Amino acid sequence: MNLFRLIIISLAIWIAIRIWQNYRAKTKKMPPSSKAQQAIPDMVECVVCKMHIPENEALRKGDKIYCSQQHLEADN
Ligand SMILES: [Zn+2]
């Protein structure tokens, strides 16, 4: 029965750690700073693979948006 007890105890400790980490993560994220929101660039969609990429990394041809040079060339 000792092993069973050990498993229960370690499980309890693990759950306690998880709850504590969850609580810490939540309190950390609580104040949504406007600075962080500005840092996220607008996401655009590649017309070939539908992948979402930051606008500043996107390639453009006309009004179409591509994720990479290969997809720009593939879509003719
Ligand atoms: Zn693509």
Q: Which residue has the higher pLDDT, 28 or 8?
A: 8
Does this model's pTM top 0.75? My answer is no
Average pLDDT, stretch 31-41?
63
What is the spatial distance between Cα 68 and Cα 16, in angstroms, rounded to a whole number? 46
* CA 46 to centroid of ligand 1, rounded, Å: 5
- Which tens digits make up the pLDDT trace of 15-31? 999 999 999 988 876 66
In the chain, pLDDT over 90 holds for what percent of residues?
68
* CA 42 to centroid of ligand 1, rounded, Å: 16
* Helix intervals (H) in the chain: 2-29, 34-39, 69-74
* CA 40 to centroid of ligand 1, rounded, Å: 20
* CA 66 to centroid of ligand 1, rounded, Å: 5
pLDDT over 80 (residue 32): no
Average pLDDT, stretch 45-67?
95
